[in-house]
């Protein structure tokens, strides 16, 4: 598995190039290659290209590091992979110096390339997209050379269940189920299940109070928030393309129209307006009659014939809601446990080669000191996993189980939300009765 990092060089370009071509690190410079420049004068050639293009930016060059796990690649293979990577990402349009260092416990490539394109005169655009392209090409070359690559199921897990860039506050809010990003996820999942097409989904999201911004990436903003949130930032299942796919994939189930909510009865004995205005008193009387009629119809539709039955019904609904909440908490605990397991499995895969190298040569104190942190992380993760598993769990199976639990949780969350609406109506009816009648109402 090759690990890639890239950073800009804004000064001392000559020192950076001198460092990477050091003979002690590159087998007397046998493992050094260049393109359209010479290692001794590369820094001046970079600057000449830059001056010819009239570039005034602060970045002189880019420094790319490609590291390989110990024992996975020979120096020659690593150097060849580095050359292939340069061809893929630089396309013979940038001067570069490539060196392969073998002085450390792990083999790694250093690539310093001009920030200015020799053909177009434009500067290299270093961003997430270009970095992902570098990583993609690096992983592809590793596969072609039978080297291990990044676990695709772990990557999917990170995108779905580990929201990058989540703040401490959002983490704390998510623990209590009040994260606004979690709420956005929940509302999107809920509306997808109720929508037969994309337009209806957008309308339902707008009806929930979300402001929608269209563009390269769709974004939503609740009324009480200052900024929009692009759905792609809350998980790979929430990109615009994926949302449309999810709507198309499901068989649309028509949901019954929601009845008009029961209103509040006005207390005729204590309301100031009733005492001050005969007109308002007349209106309030009619309003109360209508509201109580609606209340009676509602409870009779639920088979309730007395206040005693209404109280029993409310208690039963409250117990059911509490039961749903407990189920959600249980699922959260299971998902947290699986997430911990996924991280432990990833740690073992990531640092296994370091540990094998260490156990194969326990007397190599220099290697142990350099990779003590990685070795310790591996040992701790393995020790924890052995408490629950007889063999190393499969990341694919863990992700599949997380997806099942998430689907169950989404269903329960919908039931929980629906039960709250029902209970609110029942509590309001009970309160209305107390104000309006003041005594038990039989059929």
Please report, to the nearest 10 degrees, the dihedral formed by the alpha carbons of residues 398, 404, 409, 410 taken in order. Answer: 130
Q: Which residue has the tokens 């060089």?
A: 9
In the chain, the N- to C-terminal Cα span, in Å, equals 75
What confidence tier does 338 reach under pLDDT thresholds 50, 70, 90?
very high
**Averaged over 109-138, what is the pLDDT?**
94
Q: Is 123 exposed, middle or buried (0-12, 13-18, 19+ CB in 10 A)?
A: middle
**Averaged over 213-239, what is the pLDDT?**
85
> Which stretches within 21-113 are classed as H helix?
42-53, 75-90
Q: Is domain 3-150 classified as CATH 3.40.50.460?
A: no
Dist. CA 86–CA 88, nearest whole Å: 5
Question: What's the confidence (pLDDT) of residue 235?
Answer: 76
Does 251 have pLDDT greater than 70?
no
pTM: 0.47
CB 306 within 8 A of CB 441: yes
List Cβ neighbours of 129 (8 Å cut-off, separation of 6 or more): none
The β-bridge partners of 186 are: none
Question: What's the confidence (pLDDT) of residue 359?
Answer: 92
Question: What's the confidence (pLDDT) of residue 152?
Answer: 67
What confidence tier does 256 reach under pLDDT thresholds 50, 70, 90?
very low
CB 434 within 8 A of CB 269: no
Instruction: List the chain domain ranges.
Output: 3-150, 176-252, 308-438
Does 280 have pLDDT greater than 80?
yes
31-49 tens-digit pLDDT: 999 999 999 999 999 999 9
Q: Of residues 290 and 153, which shows the higher confidence score?
A: 290
C-alpha pair distances (Å), 348 with each of 5, 146, 356, 387 = 21, 19, 11, 15
Does 412 have pLDDT greater than 50?
yes
Question: What's the confidence (pLDDT) of residue 438?
Answer: 55
Dist. CA 385–CA 161, nearest whole Å: 20
Run of H or E residues at 208: none
> In this structure, what DSSP letter does residue 116 have?
B
Dist. CA 147–CA 411, nearest whole Å: 41
Question: What's the confidence (pLDDT) of residue 165?
Answer: 43
What confidence tier does 441 reach under pLDDT thresholds 50, 70, 90?
very low
Does 387 have pLDDT greater than 90?
yes
């Amino acid at each position: 598995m090759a690990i890639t990092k890239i950073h800009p060089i804004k000064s001392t370009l000559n020192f950076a190039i001198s460092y990477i071509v050091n003979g002690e690190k590159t087998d007397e410079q046998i493992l050094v290659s260049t393109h359209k420049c010479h290692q001794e004068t590369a820094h001046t050639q970079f600057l000449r290209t830059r001056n010819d293009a009239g570039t005034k930016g602060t970045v002189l060059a880019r420094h790319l590091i490609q590291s390989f796990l110990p024992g996975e690649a020979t120096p020659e293979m690593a150097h060849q992979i580095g050359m292939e990577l340069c061809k893929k990402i630089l396309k013979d349009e940038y001067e570069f110096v490539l060196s392969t260092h073998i002085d450390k416990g792990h083999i790694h490539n250093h690539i310093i390339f001009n920030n200015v394109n020799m053909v177009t005169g434009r500067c290299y655009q270093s961003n997430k997209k270009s970095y992902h392209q570098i990583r993609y090409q690096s992983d592809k070359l590793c596969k072609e050379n039978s080297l291990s690559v990044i676990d695709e199921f772990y990557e999917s897990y990170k995108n779905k269940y580990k929201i990058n860039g989540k703040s401490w506050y959002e983490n704390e809010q998510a623990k209590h189920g009040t994260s606004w990003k979690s709420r956005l996820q929940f509302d999107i999942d809920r509306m997808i299940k109720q929508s037969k097409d994309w337009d209806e989904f957008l309308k339902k999201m707008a009806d929930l109070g979300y402001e929608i911004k269209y563009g390269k990436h769709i974004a939503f903003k609740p009324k009480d928030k200052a900024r929009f949130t692009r759905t792609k930032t809350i998980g790979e299942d929430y990109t615009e393309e994926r949302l449309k796919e999810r709507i198309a994939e499901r068989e649309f189930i028509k949901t019954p129209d929601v009845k008009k909510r029961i209103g509040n009865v006005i207390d005729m004995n204590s309301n100031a307006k009733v005492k001050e205005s005969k007109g308002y008193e007349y209106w309030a009387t009619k309003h109360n009659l209508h509201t109580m009629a609606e209340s009676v119809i509602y409870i009779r539709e639920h088979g309730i014939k007395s206040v005693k039955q209404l109280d029993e019904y409310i208690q039963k609904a409250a117990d059911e809601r509490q039961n749903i909440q407990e189920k959600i908490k249980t699922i959260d605990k299971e998902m947290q446990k699986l997430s911990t397991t996924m991280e432990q499995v990833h740690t073992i895969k990531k640092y296994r080669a370091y540990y094998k190298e260490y156990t194969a040569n326990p007397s190599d104190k220099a290697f142990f000191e350099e990779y003590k942190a990685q070795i310790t992380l591996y040992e701790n993760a393995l020790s924890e996993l052995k408490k629950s598993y007889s063999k190393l769990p499969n990341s694919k199976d863990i992700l599949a189980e997380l997806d099942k639990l998430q689907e169950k949780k989404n269903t329960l969350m919908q039931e929980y939300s629906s039960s709250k609406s029902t209970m609110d109506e029942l509590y309001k009816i009970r309160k209305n009765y107390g104000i309006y009648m003041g005594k038990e109402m039989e059929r």
